Amino acid sequence: MSTPRDLAIAALDVGPGRHVEAGSLALALAGAELIDLLGAGVLTLDGDRIVPGAPGTPADPLLDEAAAAVVRQAPHERVEDWLWRRGRGLSAVYLAALESEGQVTKPRHRWMPGRIATTAPTDSPARRRAADRLASGEPVLAVLAAAAGIEDGPAGDLPGLADEAVETVLAAVGDAVTELEAVRQRRSIENAAFDNIWRGP
């Protein structure tokens, strides 16, 4: 399993009272893809620019798709731009892939047979691996999970994170999620103001 798949499964496995927003998850998934591709040597970073590395085919088809989407001509794409471009609709892509592989299920309510509950991961080795990896406090997954709203994030410096390229990606994910949240809040305020105008005094 890949980091983005572990992240997607973890997002489906959140406890009650916690909501994972699709846009934040999509940005974190795009960042997770970049980190796995960096680890595989398929690409490198030149500052904050994504540069294609040694040719290679990742074992995961979605990572292969991500590698094929990398801009190959100079000037190469910035990490932040990649997150927004690749992240568009990425939550739904991973959910569809997990569903097609039988990794998730939509359980039915016993007391209302026709009603389907929220999608949840099946009890599988993939789910246990994602849960174990998250519980271990692995820095990369911990930061991505926090950015996606899956769980509370680690504070301060992260021990064991000595890779400058990975740090660049994680910082860009954090900035993008913060920017997305600011846009959400602004729209919420604008919508509330619009509703107040129509209601009148």
Q: What confidence tier does 201 reach under pLDDT thresholds 50, 70, 90?
A: low
Who wins on pLDDT, 34 or 107? 34
Q: What is the rounded CA–CA span in Å between residue 107 and residue 26?
A: 24
Residues 6 or more apart whose Cβ sits within 8 Å of residue 75: 49
Q: How high is the pLDDT of residue 110?
A: 52
DSSP code of residue 122: -
CB contact at 8 A, 140 and 35: yes
Q: How high is the pLDDT of residue 92?
A: 93
Element (H, E) at 50: strand 49-52
Q: What confidence tier does 190 reach under pLDDT thresholds 50, 70, 90?
A: low
Q: What is the rounded CA–CA span in Å between residue 20 and residue 29?
A: 13
Q: What is the rounded CA–CA span in Å between residue 170 and residue 138?
A: 13
